[in-house]
Chains A and B, each alone.
Chain A
Amino acid sequence: MNRKIVGIALIAIALLALPLVLTQVGTAWVRIANLAILFVFLSLGLNIVVGMAGLLDLGYIAFYAVGAYVYALLASPHFNLHLPFWVILPIGALVACVAGAVLGAPTLRLRGDYLAIVTLGFGEIVRIFMNNLSSPFNITNGPKGITRIDGLSVGSVNFSATDTLFGLSITGPAKYYYVLLLLLLLVIVVNLRLQKSRIGRAWVAIREDEVAAKAAGINTRNVKLLAFAMGASFGGVAGGMFAAMQGFVSPESFILNESIMVLAMVVLGGMGNVWGVIAGALLLSFVPEFLRYSVEPLQMALFGRMLVEPEVLRMLVFGIALVLTMRFRPAGLWPESRHKREMGQKP
């Protein structure tokens, strides 16, 4: 027990000190860490939908986009609205949640593949609207996106500027890091608690055998809708944070590849297992960075030119990860503890 507490304390200290260390290496690394946390956040949201309830959502990034645009529209010079973040984030979650429910309702009584294709289409539609809702009324500002979005601020503390605290200079990204870490902690707690609850069990039951779940008295339609809406609202919050942190949103950030990336994180880590999903998300968040810093110089050294862009390689890695995981380790690299408990007596 004591060792566990010490372990947790060490991890906490490491997580708290990380941005200060990374700042020394370069502020860019703090931003990378922030994006990684955001993707962990997204993966945990998608984990509710895909991992627990077994609903394949291929347009998850659309809810992230909805959250980001809600934030951008309500806190930028675009409409000259500057609402505080604690008002906008819940609104973003709510809008994403409603979008999720509206989208899920017609498909949830059909087989899972329909949901997959409809969400795939929805992701594309959201992008088309983001790109085109600039005339005759300029709502989204089209492909140019929305700029000069307000950052987070609490009282007199502005999260986008550097502050000095106890002689330590804390940069904007470092501050966001702490906010994100806090939010992430909340999301982890929510995920863990849901997993071990009546609703969480109902989700897993539906994933395992929908007919049996129905016969056992679960209103599968409502419970699935709930999973879908919950997952979407997580995406909405993450999107709001993204907009605040970047200060800029455009349709380019919300393409299909992003949805696939989040899916790969959930699948590789271990569908349904919170810690596995976190590990998967961290792993796949750093792969592109790793590729950027290794593949480019390597190719330049070997061939004198770039043959394979890191971006392409990244997507190939995700695709291969999806295929190989499902084929050889369907429960993921870090399977649910339910599974592990029984490893010894596998037939």
Chain B
Amino acid sequence: MDIFLQQIINGLTTGSVYAIVALGYTMVYGVIQLINFAHGEVVMIGAMTAFTVIMAVVGLGLPLPPALIVLLGVLAAVPVCMAIGYTLERVAYRPLRHAPRLAPLITAIGMSIILQHLALLIWGRDPRAFPQIMENASFAIGGAAISTVQIAIILMSVVLMAGLTWFVYRTRFGIAIRATAEDVRVAALMGVDANRVIAATFVIGAGLGAIAGVMVGTYYGIAHYTMGFTLGLKAFSAAVLGGIGNLAGAMLGGIVLGLVEALGTGYIGDLTDLCRWPLVGGMLAERCEADGHAILFGSNYQDVFAFLVLILVLVFRPSGLLGERVSERA
């Protein structure tokens, strides 16, 4: 099997999901220059809601095609998450729009804890297994395999990204969003209802997050009340990598991060196998002969990559890959 190609495929899949979640962060940030800390939890609730609906539909035993069942899950998750996104904006952000910056960040953290533990109350502490309703066929390409779920996720992401781009650049409301992102006051003078636009970015981001949640759930076959935290952190890193506030940046950042993570996880074990390093390996000769390897950092460090990327971007290019320099906005 070609590990490199396989990791590229895996990276593209997770990267697509990161990109969709990152869009939620970046849209909100673009308009109000604040991080929506609870976004990861919205994604988690999307996955959980879809899971519940899918289980219920499967439980009915109707001869429905699997894709339709998943679609029903999505259709349930999207409005639920949108409602949560709207609530978030109304409760945690809008009342504090003129408060010091710290205040909305703290309420958002509070909301995220509340959402997480409400999910724990509803769905319990144990991971929920997504039912394997889709026959997950694999296709061989150049020594690697790509599954139908992976294809579906990548295609779906492309459609969502294209749709959002069309919406933001070609519709009246999209223009209002961009105007608000440029300058809230001027947009307001031009007759844009800033409150509506800001609420809309939360709602749209949450809707996208819901779909991303379903994608993750079907991909890993599992959903858990803590999944939103890590996913949110990674997607935020993706948004920063691409240049926060920039839609194309979030998409690019998501894909790049997915690839970095997949390739990193795929190779770090080999690279840090001390037995392959002559100098150190000599010292560990006994051990290397017994075990064959002495891996310093294995694939269990997978979640570290996103964070490393985040730190490196912040140090060397805080504006991200596609972002403009904003440091001088006094």
Which residues of A224-251 have CB atoms within 8 Å of chain B's CB atoms? none
* Shortest beta-carbon distance from A142 to chain B in Å: 10
Query: Is A122's CB under 8 angstroms from B106's CB?
Result: no
CA distance A106 to B315 in the complex (A): 5
Residue total for A at the interface (Cβ-Cβ under 8 A): 46
Kindly state whether residue B113 has any CB partner on chain A within 8 Å: yes
Contact of B274 with A by CB under 8 A: yes
Cβ–Cβ contact B114 & A110, under 8 A: no
One of A116, A117, A136, A315 near B295 (C-beta < 8 A): A136
User: Which residues of A sit under 8 angstroms from B107, Cβ to Cβ?
Assistant: 322-323, 326-327
**Contacts of A108-125 to chain B: CB distance below 8 A:** 109-114, 116-118, 120-122, 124-125
Closest to B288 in A: A136
Closest B residue to A208 by beta carbon equals B100
- Indicate whether A54 sits within 8 Å of B121 (C-beta atoms), given known contacts A132-B300, A327-B96: no
Interface residue? B304 (CB, 8 A): yes
**Distance A77 CA – B135 CA, assembled complex (angstroms):** 53
Q: How far is the CB of B237 from chain A (nearest CB, A)?
A: 8
A319 on interface, CB distance cutoff 8 Å: yes
Contact status B106-A113, CB under 8 Å: no
User: Is A124 a contact of B233 with CB atoms below 8 Å?
Assistant: yes
Do residues A112 and B106 form an inter-chain contact, with CB atoms below 8 A? Answer: no
B72 at the interface (CB under 8 A from A): no
Cα A302 to Cα B237 with chains together (Å): 46
Contact status of A263 and B106, CB under 8 A, knowing A118-B311, A125-B304, A326-B96: yes
Q: Which of A112, A124, A211 contacts B101 (CB 8 A)?
A: A112
Nearest neighbor of B307 in chain A, beta-carbon distance:
A121
- Closest chain-B Cβ to A127's Cβ sits at a distance in Å of 10
Asked whether B106 lies within 8 Å of A322 as measured between CB atoms, the reply is: yes
Decide yes or no: A323 and B307 within 8 Å by CB, A117-B233, A121-B233 being known contacts. Answer: no
Does A260 belong to the interface (CB within 8 Å)?
yes
Interface flag for A330 (CB, 8 Å)? yes
| Residues on B with beta carbons closer than 8 Å to the beta carbon of A132 | 297-298, 300-301
Tell me the total A-B contact number using a CB cutoff of 8 A: 127
Q: Does A12 touch B at the CB level, under 8 Å?
A: no
The answer, among B35, B100, B113, for a CB contact under 8 Å with A116, is B35
Asked if A94 CB lies within 8 Å of chain B CBs, one says: no
Which residues from chain B contact A135 at a C-beta distance below 8 Å? 295, 298
Which residue of chain A has its CB nearest to the CB of B314? A106
Q: A319-B110, A326-B103 are in contact. Are A128 and B117 (CB under 8 A)?
A: no
Q: How far is the CA of A120 from the CA of B109 in the complex (A)?
A: 11
- With A316-B117, A326-B107 as given contacts, are A124 and B230 in contact (CB-CB < 8 Å)? yes
* Contact of B294 with A by CB under 8 A: yes
Closest 9 CB pairs of A and B: A322-B110, A319-B113, A319-B114, A136-B294, A323-B110, A121-B307, A106-B315, A113-B35, A319-B110
Interface residues of B (CB under 8 A from A): 33-35, 37, 91-92, 95-96, 99-107, 109-114, 116-118, 120-121, 229-230, 233, 236-237, 240, 274, 284, 287, 294-298, 300-301, 303-304, 306-307, 310-311, 314-315, 318, 327, 330
Besides the contacts A132-B300, A322-B113, what 14 more A-B pairs have beta carbons closer than 8 Å?
A: A58-B109, A111-B33, A111-B101, A112-B101, A113-B35, A116-B35, A116-B37, A117-B233, A263-B109, A308-B121, A312-B121, A315-B113, A316-B113, A321-B110
